[in-house]
Structure 1
């Protein structure tokens, strides 16, 4: 989630203690479900993974939505990544160093890295890939003030020099959009290459229907010894979450990307199923199109925020799996104001106060607005119904429009909506990612397609990008969250946990806080 060039995204601060130290080496993941109660993992087999949306595009430099991102990251890998706790770790880089002045980053590639076709990965490929990222200026473009990228293939080094210290840079490099591809697409045209791209990831594309399923085959040249254990991974497109669950319970697919919260307990307690429940960097939210006169009125937005019982909504729609939100940044990300706002809400649930707030607006007698939601998502449908009933108490009539996911995305990106339910998602473990994506009026998404702007937030956002990690940076992000909670360009409803489901024969999945899953350690019971 990012803005246009020269605007920061996600970041991890350049702490003084890390100035000359590389992060810990990557380890194979077994977070999530276990390795079979002490059983020896078995190699082979194809795991079928059910998803609510198909992968429609595999260009790592132009995509952002989860349907594509979590397909792309199985093919392309980055110099550095993060583990299931959000800690940054070396990945394709064997080590990295940051100069004392914070201007020079030196990455040393692992020895013997190869692409899935067996060709060698070169340091020059990293330069080509990062420069293509910059040239495409897509939704997750590199936004650090990069002055130069120098490479040495013999020494396996990539040296990136910045014009000035830039706190978020290392975390920015963990995004899938910073993945490595061969220089000049390995001799193919860009179009042909992206139909079946080769990368360093654990899997390579074997068949792909952009409107349907995506089939992967094991990368025989993967850099993690003996991995992946699977011979293949099939992404199966099923447009409805209840149908996904039915197919999981019937054993027709091995795992599903999203378990409906209403069914989490049954999946967790099922004799033939397992629930993977972990913290995430996602927030379910209500977004206002502030180009609409009614929602351009801050008093209207504040009145709506005070009308909604967010703990009640979270309990009713997530069945105890999610925590009600009180600030933009989730608790799993540093500098979240959630605990402070829980204790002292900026706008507490108070219908009487909401009516007074609406009376201050230009619409004291209420109005009619349409809430846009994607079909096939039972939780959002339920949230919409609760919002409809709640806002009727203050004279606002809500009409609910439910459309297919592809059309939903087209509509809100064209600002063709009044207000909507959608999720915000950080791509890496720094608070700046969400703040930039949701509050930068010059960014790629224009404040998450709300058209919200506040000069003070913009000023603080820039300060947060250059302030070293520590108390001063924390103060900046706490202030930003305070302002956003009062301006209400969107209402964070609850912090969404990662709820993945598997059959009992699946082991070794690693659930990441950005919502993705790593499969290189996954294995299936041989029986």
Structure 2
């Protein structure tokens, strides 16, 4: 195995970096209700309608505004009651019954009832709507029925044990029946949820402000009066705003800036456990990337050990599979992530494109680690005979391109939205018409995925997941690169902010010192 030259460029870069744990512990006597939290992030939200997006900025925002029947536990181990207080599987395992929490109101004032849940889940699983990017996630559902005003039954096509976990998926958010008399286009810019915050204002491309929901069903929260997400595209500007007090939280600081943040007495530079995986999304439908041999060659050409050191400053681990070790179905036995330029060059010559191809990597503007990763891949792939270009685009264009399949390669990342491994399987490997739009479709993977969700024996289920991971490594529809920690720079005036293992966070627990 050859050593990448990138490993020698910045040797030991992570040796001097600290991973600090915890955020804003603070003194209880200095914390009082109220305050306006400011978060600086690189990208704006794109929509307020959950099932029509895969962008994390949308998800992180909408999970403060909308709620689901179940809620993910912060440690990622399962779900707990949300808008449903309890649920039960039928004896024949072909249906689940959910009992709804009483006294819950939407931001518009309407009281939550079963009709709202039936409408919302039917909308989430509508596969005839091209804008619904998550419908296939709910394919095992046959029907959603109202039992009474506060009881809903979900009938299945096949036994589906993970269903309560999928009811915590943000795409299963609950809206008023018939969108309260509006349409999907209206809801894309006007949210009406039951969450601890409602949308106060949205200056697209600049900022989105949430305000406290005074009628929230859970008493005593949220503490904050408001939370504002400011769009600050440049990593260094976000860092300076945090250090200067213009922002309370720097969301996803550049890994190489973490050591600078940690030197400030007023800042916690924190790395949290996460299911986050960074990967190159390859459009398998493009003729340049339609051969698994070429795609696998691209995977062999990436020196993941050096990427972790150079790009992510040690705040990551080399990816061996597209399933994070934070999920129960992760396999340690996957063959295909090793760095081997000889294998890579050989596979190119054996592929349908022995003379190489011309490809473009699309990346978001102003995100330092994505740019550096793209540069490393560009040089590595050129070394195996490809012609590679890097194109910087604004996030809205990147999202549109991905949705329409108008890309060859994008630098992307994903975190699991539910505690069950099957969700990442569906999102990243059963993606011919949904998910990341890689265009990948392998009948064996689809068959094993369906078998896995119906399998009750955890060992047999994990065997199926391992087969899927190896097949995906062989086909290389995506190139997994690294498992990254969730990075945040947080003012020490912030108390109680701690991201969940599944990658999201709840601001209803967050407080500010005064």
**TM-score under structure 1 length normalisation:** 0.86
1:108 aligns with 2:99: yes
Residue 194 of structure 1 deviates from its aligned partner by 5.5
Contact 1:274 1:501 in 2 (8 A): yes
RMSD: 2.3
Q: Distance in 1 between matches of 2:159 and 2:232?
A: 45
SS at match of 1:449: coil
Aligned counterpart, 1:312? 306
Residue 264 of structure 1 deviates from its aligned partner by 2.0
SS at match of 2:485: strand
Q: In 2 relative to 1, CA 405–221 (structure 1 residues): closer, same or farther, beyond 3 Å?
A: same
Q: In 2 relative to 1, CA 116–469 (structure 1 residues): closer, same or farther, beyond 3 Å?
A: farther
Aligned counterpart, 2:345? 355
Aligned counterpart, 2:250? 256
Q: Distance in 2 between matches of 1:325 and 1:347?
A: 7
- Counterpart mapping for 1:422-441 below 5 A: 422-441=412-431
Q: In 2 relative to 1, CA 220–390 (structure 1 residues): closer, same or farther, beyond 3 Å?
A: same
Q: Distance in 2 between matches of 1:184 and 1:291?
A: 36
SS at match of 2:275: strand
Contact 1:152 1:158 in 2 (8 A): yes
SS at match of 1:270: coil
1:176 paired residue among 167, 170, 177: 170
Residue 104 of structure 1 deviates from its aligned partner by 2.8
1:222 aligns with 2:245: no
**TM-score under structure 2 length normalisation:** 0.88
Q: In 2 relative to 1, CA 435–206 (structure 1 residues): closer, same or farther, beyond 3 Å?
A: same
Aligned counterpart, 2:114? 123
Gaps of 5+ in 2: 1-20
Q: Distance in 2 between matches of 1:459 and 1:269?
A: 51
Contact 1:196 1:206 in 2 (8 A): no
Aligned counterpart, 2:356? 366
2:229 paired residue among 235, 242, 259: 235
Aligned counterpart, 1:51? 41
Q: In 2 relative to 1, CA 40–200 (structure 1 residues): closer, same or farther, beyond 3 Å?
A: farther
1:340 aligns with 2:333: yes
Q: Distance in 2 between matches of 1:258 and 1:441?
A: 27
Residue 151 of structure 1 deviates from its aligned partner by 3.4
Contact 1:347 1:486 in 2 (8 A): no
Contact 1:273 1:502 in 2 (8 A): yes
Contact 1:329 1:481 in 2 (8 A): yes
Gaps of 5+ in 1: 1-30
Instruction: Identify which range, 517-526 or 37-46, moves more after superposition.
Output: 37-46
Residue 485 of structure 1 deviates from its aligned partner by 1.0
Q: In 2 relative to 1, CA 457–315 (structure 1 residues): closer, same or farther, beyond 3 Å?
A: same
Contact 1:32 1:511 in 2 (8 A): no
Aligned counterpart, 1:8? none
1:79 paired residue among 60, 69, 72: 69
SS at match of 2:276: strand
SS at match of 1:160: strand
Q: Distance in 2 between matches of 1:80 and 1:173?
A: 6
Q: In 2 relative to 1, CA 80–187 (structure 1 residues): closer, same or farther, beyond 3 Å?
A: same
Residue 473 of structure 1 deviates from its aligned partner by 0.8
Instruction: Identify which range, 62-71 or 72-81, moves more after superposition.
Output: 62-71
Instruction: Identify which range, 216-225 or 108-117, moves more after superposition.
Output: 108-117
Aligned counterpart, 1:503? 491
- Counterpart mapping for 1:170-209 below 5 A: 170-186=164-180, 195-209=189-203
- Counterpart mapping for 1:409-488 below 5 A: 409-445=399-435, 448-488=436-476
SS at match of 1:340: coil
- Counterpart mapping for 1:141-160 below 5 A: 141=135, 142-153=138-149, 156-160=150-154
Aligned counterpart, 1:88? 79
Q: In 2 relative to 1, CA 114–429 (structure 1 residues): closer, same or farther, beyond 3 Å?
A: same
